[in-house]
Structure 1
Amino acid sequence: MALNRLMEFCSSAPTAMSSLTKSMCWELVSIKKDRLNGIGAAFYRKPTSNECYEARRRQQPPMCSDDDDANAAWYIRLNSCMHRVPTVPSERGARWPVEWPRRARTPPYWLNAAQAGVYGKPEPEDFTVDYEHWRRVVDRSYLNGLGIDWSRVRNVMDMRAAYGGFAAALREKKVWVMNVVNVDAADTLPIIFERGLFGIYHDWCESFSTYPRTYDLLHADHLFSKIKERCAVLPVVVEVDRIVRPGGGIIVRDEAGAVGEVEKLLRSLHWDVRLTFSKNDEGVLYAEKSDWRPELIEEPS
């Protein structure tokens, strides 16, 4: 009986899938089966206009309401509705971004000059100023001034990315950068994606899912002074110690007090603090993780 039900499900699944994708106006481009293992694969294409949506006899799945935010992604309940294809030329998704690598340094066309960006300037200007800032910092300081052996750096994490300017400034290096947009900050992840970069949302008051890899270098720009407003710094530094491989490092740019607190915690974990610098209540720290691990002491029986 169980085998019959399984066979019935397997035979009906493709039909159900075809009915659903057709009702969603997705076009079946190709479907093929692997000759060796018999596994099939289908390729569907989402529509580029709203014509099919408007011509449907049955509005199932329904279209989302106009006030539903298509970009909301953090702790948002899934709804079984579809968003319309953007048609306004200035709307995000209405046209393709510029080609790589120019897209990494070019403000997205949909940024609004009438709105203030992360740092208070009009969004397109804010984007450009941020990129130029990180390009100067990377070229003048990070690549040569901190003592980082970049030949040993493969994957990097920007723990508090804004527009992804730090990652964009590293685009000519042979590194992979994960941009982390903090959940209590402005939602700039769409901008990071538009630049052709990687990114993710995260709350640093919670653990970070790194499976199955560790990181060679972390970058924390004014992260710890912001974290202190919501949770303790100690667990975050311990999380840093977990994420970074032995021999890997972290760059911290923050208020001098926050940098000092992080330095003490890293030293307690036997990190090698290679450089500290402070000026006008702003500090920079670079430290590398050692091979040290706490010793397990057996309790007397």
Structure 2
Amino acid sequence: MCDTTNSDDVWYKKMEDCVTPSKPGGSWKPFQERLNAVPFRITSGSVPGVSVEVFEEDNRVWKKHVNAYKRINKILSSGRYRNIMDMNAGLGSFAAALESPKLWVMNVVPTIAEKANLGVIFERGLVGIYHDWCEAFSTYPRTYDLIHANGLFSLYKSGCNAEDILLEMDRILRPEGAVIFRDQGDVLMQVRRIVKGMRWSTKMMDHEDGPMVSEKVLFAVKQYWVASDNTTSSE
């Protein structure tokens, strides 16, 4: 068993041949019940700023968001998107709302996020990883069918260029794969300009609560590049 006092402090740390024990007093519910049950880390007060009420509200909000996504992208529940990534996973509620035997979600917690919630994600029976999106993600090109980016570009506005993050997204997304961006409207306008230059098709939508909400949603699809008379490219 590991001796560390902070099991969430793992970014750029030396790997050890040990296993971190679960919190004393915690009990593991069977999956799928565990997916929406309040994790023991939260009920025990181990996650500052995240109460039972906050967790349950987060679950409710993401079920609402995902239902709105499905109204726009009709194939979201069809099994077409098997490998999915959530680039700013929070408490893992996007993945929980999507849960289906037809897909899996890699929940990424940015290292610069306000809260290190990877332990909460694990307790929900989900998979996840810490990552700094100013660096390349360790995966093969064209691995993911769908990428979800909630508030990611606002989070990294002082960290690294949006172009660099988008190029990394383009690398790991398969042709005809989709991206759902959720962020402030002005941020998404900048993102939209860049991805149009990458030959992605885009569609900007208002928040499901109406046009007066400053948060917007941008749907994008990575296209196959077709050679023209002046250029050649391959996917």
Scaled to the shorter chain, the TM-score interval is 0.7 to 0.9
- Alignment correspondent of 2:72: 145
Residues 284 and 84 of structure 1: CA distance in aligned 2, closer, same or farther (over 3 Å) = closer
- Alignment correspondent of 2:105: 177
One-letter amino acid of the counterpart of residue 105, structure 1: N
Contact 1:215/1:244 (8 A) holds in 2: yes
1:248-280: per-residue Cα shift (whole Å, max 9, x none)? 110000011111011111111111113433633
Q: What RMSD over aligned residues (CA atoms) do the two structures have, in Å?
A: 2.7
Q: CA deviation at 1:243?
A: 1.2
Q: CA deviation at 1:94?
A: 4.4
Greater Cα radius of gyration, structure 1 or 2: 1
- Verify: 1:282 aligned to 2:215, yes or no: yes
Contact 1:146/1:275 (8 A) holds in 2: no
- Verify: 1:125 aligned to 2:53, yes or no: yes
Structure with greater contact order relative to length (CA < 8 Å, sep ≥ 6) = 2
Provide the C-alpha distance between the structure 2 equivalents of 1:212 and 1:234, rounded to a whole number of angstroms. Answer: 17
One-letter amino acid of the counterpart of residue 198, structure 1: V
- Verify: 1:111 aligned to 2:42, yes or no: yes
Unaligned runs of 5+ in 1: 1-45, 47-62, 87-91
Residues 83 and 169 of structure 1: CA distance in aligned 2, closer, same or farther (over 3 Å) = closer
Residues 116 and 154 of structure 1: CA distance in aligned 2, closer, same or farther (over 3 Å) = closer
One-letter amino acid of the counterpart of residue 194, structure 2: L
Provide the C-alpha distance between the structure 2 equivalents of 1:178 and 1:72, rounded to a whole number of angstroms. Answer: 19
TM-score, normalised to structure 1, is 0.67
Provide the C-alpha distance between the structure 1 equivalents of 2:160 and 2:12, rounded to a whole number of angstroms. Answer: 19
TM-score, normalised to structure 2, is 0.84
Contact 2:141/2:173 (8 A) holds in 1: no
| Aligned equivalent of 1:270, options 199, 203, 210 | 199
- Alignment correspondent of 1:255: 184
Provide the C-alpha distance between the structure 1 equivalents of 2:196 and 2:20, rounded to a whole number of angstroms. Answer: 53
Contact 2:142/2:175 (8 A) holds in 1: no
1:120-153: per-residue Cα shift (whole Å, max 9, x none)? 5x422211111111011112x1112244454311
Provide the C-alpha distance between the structure 1 equivalents of 2:146 and 2:176, rounded to a whole number of angstroms. Answer: 9
- Alignment correspondent of 1:74: 11
Unaligned runs of 5+ in 2: none
- Alignment correspondent of 2:122: 193
Provide the C-alpha distance between the structure 1 equivalents of 2:31 and 2:130, rounded to a whole number of angstroms. Answer: 23
Residues 114 and 177 of structure 1: CA distance in aligned 2, closer, same or farther (over 3 Å) = closer
- Alignment correspondent of 2:96: 168
One-letter amino acid of the counterpart of residue 59, structure 2: Y
